[in-house]
Every structure is written in C-alpha cells, then in structure tokens.
C-alpha cells in the first residue's frame, strides 16, 4: 500500500483546502512553498506558513521550492513536522541539510526532472527521503513526465546500500500514471485527489 500526501491548491482558500485534507484518508498534508525566485510563482509567505501548519491535523510534509529555506525553517522549528524537503539544485545545500537535522526533522531532497538522479547519491547517507519531480516545480496541473527510470535507479541504489530512505514522487499524479510510479513509497497529489477525495485517495493507496 502506498502512502498519499495531499497537496492543497494555494490559489484557493488555503484553510478550507487543508480542512478537507484533515478530514480525508491522506497520510500527509504536503505544503508547497515557493518564493518567486527559485520558481516563478510565490504562494506562502514566511509569516503565513506557521499558521497553516498549525491548522493541519495530519502528518506534515513540506517541500521548499525556494533559494533560501533557512529563514522559513527558523520560523517553523518548534512545530511537529515529519519531512522538510529542499532542492538539490540550490546553493549551500549541505548547510541546509545540517540545519534541518539540527532541529530534529527528517530531511528530504527534491530533484527536478532534468537532474541526473546519480548526482544525489553522495547525500543518501544524510537524508530520509527523495522527492522526484515528475513535472517542472512551481505550477499545478502540468502533465506527468515519465520518471520511472530515475525511480528504478534510485530504488536499486537504496537497496544495494541497505538504506532506510523513502521515495516520493510529485507532479501529475493520477490513476493513469500509477504503473510508472509503482516503486515509490509516497505519492503526492493535488488536483486529482481534491476532485474526489475519498475515491481518489483510495485509488492511489491501493491500486
């Protein structure tokens, strides 16, 4: 059975969307945080993020699509958060990894579709999750990019090294792409599951 992380649409009422996810069977609520620099969109401010986290009643999975995650992390360091994920492609990556670990959170590394998965292998001993992007980060509703080769490579590396790392995939996740992501542990979905929460969460978990 897969775990499902429900991502809310920040262009809608954020608290309403989170309340829907609170009352669903998702395992996590996935926060996409964008700064308008690493990606073109900006959606959740530094001051807004703690209020939204406080409203969530599920386990929390945060994906920072920002150049400087440090200022956000400092604001949420006292909250009960499961995973904080930052992008491989940012500067000072290992400093941020250390910061997240120092606060006691599990660390995730996200990779863009064009990033070679082997580039992050040197980090695997330091992290708990890899988030493979199956769309370009920053916009909802994009078409799924087939990243099954990347998933399979990473899975084999994790098995060979006997590591305890979860693989998550995010972008265009719906009932039509499940064969491509069968080796993942966590599926992140927004538009698909929000269109029919009970039915579509069950499909992602069990099909």
Q: Is the dihedral angle over the CA atoms 126, 131, 132, 133 positive or is it negative?
A: negative
Out of 27, 32, 35, 61, the active site residue is 32
Q: Which residues contact 174 (CB under 8 A, 6 or more apart)?
A: 144, 189, 191, 192, 200
Going by the DSSP 8-state scheme, the letter that residue 32 receives in this structure is E
> Is 32 annotated as catalytic?
yes
Q: Can you tell me the distance from the alpha carbon of 190 to that of 106, in angstroms, rounded to the nearest whole number?
A: 22
Between the alpha carbon of residue 36 and those of residues 42, 109, 183, the distances in Å are 4, 20, 32
Extended beta strands in 1-40, E state: 3-7, 28-34
Q: Can you tell me the distance from the alpha carbon of 58 to that of 122, in angstroms, rounded to the nearest whole number?
A: 31
Question: 3-state DSSP call for residue 19?
Answer: helix
Q: Can you tell me the distance from the alpha carbon of 83 to that of 202, in angstroms, rounded to the nearest whole number?
A: 23
> Is 170 annotated as catalytic?
yes
Contact 72, 33 (CB under 8 A): yes
Out of 27, 35, 82, 170, the active site residue is 170
Residues taking part in catalysis: 32, 170
């Amino acid at each position: 059975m897969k775990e499902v992380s429900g991502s809310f649409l920040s262009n809608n009422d954020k608290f309403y969307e989170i309340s829907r996810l609170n009352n669903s069977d998702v395992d996590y609520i996935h926060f996409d945080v964008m700064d308008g620099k690493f990606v073109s969109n900006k959606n959740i401010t530094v001051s807004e993020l703690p209020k939204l986290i406080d409203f969530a009643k599920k386990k929390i999975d945060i994906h920072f699509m920002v150049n400087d995650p440090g200022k956000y992390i400092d604001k949420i360091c006292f909250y009960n958060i499961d995973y904080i994920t930052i992008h491989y492609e940012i500067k000072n990556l290992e400093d941020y990894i250390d910061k997240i670990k120092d606060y006691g959170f599990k660390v995730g590394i996200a990779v863009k579709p064009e990033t070679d998965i082997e580039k992050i292998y040197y980090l695997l001993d330091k992290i708990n999750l890899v988030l493979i992007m199956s769309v370009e980060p920053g916009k909802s509703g994009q078409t799924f990019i087939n990243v099954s080769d990347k998933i399979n490579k990473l899975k084999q590396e994790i098995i060979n090294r006997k590591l305890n790392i979860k693989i998550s995939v995010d972008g265009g996740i719906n009932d039509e792409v499940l064969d491509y992501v069968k080796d993942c542990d966590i599926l992140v979905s927004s538009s698909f599951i929000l269109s029919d929460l009970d039915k579509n969460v069950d499909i992602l978990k069990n099909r």
